[in-house]
Structure 1
Amino acid sequence: MDFGDKDFLKIKGVKGNYIQGVYIKQLTKIPDERGVIYHMLRADDPIFENFGEIYFSLVYPGVIKGWHLHKKMILNYAVIQGMIKLVLYDDREDSPTRGNLMEIFMGEENYLLVKIPPMIWNGFKGIGTKTAIVANCASIPHDPEEIIRLDPFTDKIPYDWSLKHG
């Protein structure tokens, strides 16, 4: 099942306010005695748009990778090992969801696909005790000219990366 609009509230591990254009899909894992198959994204999936490249990012527990924004690239994230807290912030001037933040806890314990449209600030933090492996099926090949980066602790994005209790 794919989730956009207010349906995202039905997905476990998702907090905050909906951001227009973000889609979340609960993914399947198929275990057997040989191992596990992790489904991620197919060309005939309704949320698939284009293939540019697939890459993997490792993030150690407690490490923050962010903030970054892609001007053209659509990101399709899934985490096959470990856990991350993915945070999205909508700062698009013409967006009806401008100012909204989303937190998505995803990985081995909550296997999801998150589609992030261009112009959405995003970053993630390794959580738990294992190194996380984040897969991205990007819509275009990496181009350093189309990415903008900010320090994870900038005051331009109203977010605190520290552990929240309760």
Structure 2
Amino acid sequence: MTTIDRVTLDDFVDDKPWLPEGAENAEVRIENQIAGVDLRRLEERADGRGSLVVLMSDRFGESYRTPHVYLVTAAARSVRAWVYHKLQSDRLAFTQGRLRVVLYDLRPDSPTYQVVNVLDVGAANKVLLTIPPFVVHAVQNLGDEDACFVNMPTRAYDPSNPDKSRLPKDHPGIPYQFE
């Protein structure tokens, strides 16, 4: 009869400390960026097994605490539009696929009132995008396959009182047309 050695916790090897290669969670700015929108670079750590991307961490600061997290799948060539929130900020992490995010500032008291921002994000441009309340937004999958992104809003979703207002993707009052 063969004896099998049993593994114990002492058999494991601790991970070695590591430091981010660049500025972890570094801010990214775009021309004429809508006020209150925050854009952060997401860094990928890869090895022979695959990769890991930290989407959000308490290490980034107090404002990165997350009460609710969910994964969104965008069907190939689909458009998820238009929405805004009155109470929460959306914090969207894009790490795969080819997606376009369109933002439209409808806050009359904002210095960027009626400004449109268009961001191409995904595998080639990994970012964490924070969209403040009352900034209208849409996500378009530019690819021929489904793509996913993660939302980590600042408030938990309440199905009995949803904080979400919608318009159809082709509404003429928004100065952007999807291809």
Q: Smaller-chain TM-score range? A: 0.7 to 0.9
In the alignment, does 2:150 pair up with 1:128? no
Alignment of 1:82-101 (within 5 A): 82-101=97-116
**Counterpart in 2 of 1:152?**
169
Identity of aligned residues (%): 26
TM-score by length of 2: 0.80
Query: RMSD of the alignment, in Å?
Result: 1.5
Higher strand share: 1
Aligned residue identity for 1:8 = I
- State the distance in 2 between where 1:80 and 1:28 align: 9
Structure 1: segments with no counterpart, 5+ residues: 10-16
1:49 deviates by 4.5
- State the distance in 1 between where 2:102 and 2:62 align: 20
1:145 deviates by 3.1
Alignment of 1:28-67 (within 5 A): 28-46=43-61, 48-67=63-82
- State the distance in 2 between where 1:149 and 1:20 align: 21
**Counterpart in 2 of 1:2?**
27
**Counterpart in 1 of 2:10?**
none
- State the distance in 2 between where 1:139 and 1:50 align: 8
Q: 1:56 to 1:27 in 2, by over 3 A?
A: same
**Counterpart in 2 of 1:109?**
124
- State the distance in 2 between where 1:93 and 1:58 align: 32
Structure 2: segments with no counterpart, 5+ residues: 1-25
- State the distance in 1 between where 2:38 and 2:30 align: 8
- State the distance in 2 between where 1:122 and 1:30 align: 29
**Deviations along 1:121-158, whole A, 9 cap, x unmatched?**
00110012221111011111113432100001001211
Q: Which structure: larger Rg? A: 2
1:47 deviates by 7.7
TM-score by length of 1: 0.85
